[in-house]
Amino acid sequence: MTRTFLGMPATAPPDVGHLRGDEPFPAAARRALADAQLRRNLRHATTTIRAKSGAVIGEVPDWQELRAAGSAIKADTMARLPELLEQLEAAVTAAGGTVHWAADAVEANQIVTDLVRATGADRVMKVKSMATQEIGLNEALEAAGIEPVETDLAELIVQLGRDRPSHILVPAIHRNRAEIREVFLREMPGVDPALTDEPAALAAAARQHLRRTFLSTRVALSGANFAVAETGTLAVVESEGNGRMCLTLPETLITVMGVEKVIPTWDDLGVFLQLLPRASTGERMNPYTSMWTGVTPGDGPQQVHLVLLDNGRSAVLADAVGRQALHCIRCSACLNVCPVYERTGGHAYGSVYPGPIGAVLSPQLTGVEENASLPYASSLCGACYDACPVKINIPELLVHLRSRAPHPRSEAVAMAAAAYTMDHPRLYAAAQRAAGLGRVAGRTLPPPLSGWTASRDVPAAPPQTFRQWWSENRSES
Confidence check: pLDDT of 435 > 90: no
Mean pLDDT across 238-243: 89
User: Does residue 434 or residue 157 have the better pLDDT?
Assistant: 157
Confidence band for 475, pLDDT divided at 50, 70 and 90 = low
Tell me what pLDDT residue 443 has.
67
- The 10 Å Cβ neighbour count of residue 139 is 14
Give me the pLDDT at residue 25, please.
96
Under the banding of pLDDT at 50, 70 and 90, the label for residue 4 is very low
One of 3.30.870.10, 3.40.50.10420, 3.40.50.620, 3.20.20.140 is the CATH number of 86-314, namely 3.40.50.10420
| Closest to 129 in 3D by CA, of 368, 3, 309 | 309
Domain limits, CATH 3.40.50.10420, in the chain: 86-314
- CA-to-CA distance for 201 and 60, rounded, in angstroms? 35
**Predicted local confidence at residue 1, as pLDDT:** 42
Would you place residue 250 in the very low, low, confident or very high pLDDT band (cuts 50, 70, 90)? Answer: very high
More confident residue, 242 or 311: 311
For position 323, what pLDDT does the model report?
96
Q: Which whole number is the average pLDDT over 79-108? A: 97
Mean pLDDT on 285-295: 95
Evaluate if residue 60 carries a pLDDT over 70.
Answer: yes
The pLDDT-based confidence of 476 (bands split at 50, 70, 90) is low
Task: Name the pLDDT band for 454 (thresholds 50, 70, 90).
Answer: confident
Average pLDDT for 168-181: 88
Q: How confident is the model at residue 461 (pLDDT cuts 50, 70, 90)?
A: confident
Mean pLDDT computed over every residue of the chain: 91
The rounded percent of the chain whose pLDDT value lies above 70 is: 95
Predicted confidence (pLDDT) at residue 171 exceeds the cutoff of 50: yes
DSSP 373-391: TGGGS-----HHHHH-TT-
Mean pLDDT of 54-77: 97
pLDDT bracket for residue 446 (50, 70, 90): confident
- Residues 345-396: tens digit of each pLDDT: 999 999 999 999 999 999 999 999 999 999 999 999 999 999 999 999 999 9
Neighbours of 391 (CB within 10 A): 18
Q: Is 67 helix (H, G, I), strand (E, B) or coil?
A: helix
Average pLDDT over residues 415-423: 89
Q: Given a cut of 90, is residue 168 above it in pLDDT?
A: no
pLDDT band at 416 (very low <50, low <70, confident <90, very high): confident
Kindly indicate the confidence band of residue 9, based on its pLDDT and cuts at 50, 70 and 90. Answer: low
**Amino acid sitting at position 297:** P
3-state helix, strand, coil in the chain (%, to 5): 55, 10, 35
Q: What is the pLDDT of residue 172?
A: 86
Q: pLDDT category, 166, cuts 50, 70, 90?
A: confident
Average pLDDT rounded to a whole number, residues 218-222: 97
Minimum mean pLDDT among 52-56, 185-189, 305-309, 404-408: which range? 404-408
Per-residue pLDDT at 7: 46
pTM: 0.88
Cis peptide before 375 (omega within 30 of 0): no
d(CA 341, CA 314) in angstroms, rounded, equals 27
Can you give the pLDDT at residue 437?
A: 62
Q: Stretch 438-467: mean pLDDT, rounded?
A: 72
pLDDT at residue 173, as a whole number: 85
Q: What pLDDT shows up at residue 2? A: 46
Q: Outline where 10-97 has alpha helix (H).
A: 25-33, 36-57, 63-79, 81-94
- Give the pLDDT mean for 433-450: 67
pLDDT score for 226: 98
Sorting pLDDT into bands at 50, 70 and 90, what band is 35? very high
Burial class (CB in 10 A: 0-12, 13-18, 19+), 416: exposed
Confidence at residue 441, expressed as pLDDT on a 0 to 100 scale:
56
* Per-residue pLDDT reduced to its tens digit, 194-212: 999 999 999 999 999 898 8
Please state, in angstroms and rounded to a whole number, the distance separating the CA atoms of residues 42 and 175. 9
DSSP string, 308-319: EE-TTHHHHHTS
Query: For 273-288, what is the mean pLDDT?
Result: 94
Count how many Cα atoms sit within 13 Å of the Cα of residue 327 in the half-sphere of its side chain: 26
Own/partner pairs for 47-55, CB < 8 Å, 24+ apart?
A: 49/170, 49/281, 49/282, 49/336, 50/336, 50/337, 51/282, 52/281, 52/282, 52/283, 53/278, 53/279, 53/280, 53/281, 53/282, 53/333, 53/336, 54/282, 55/282
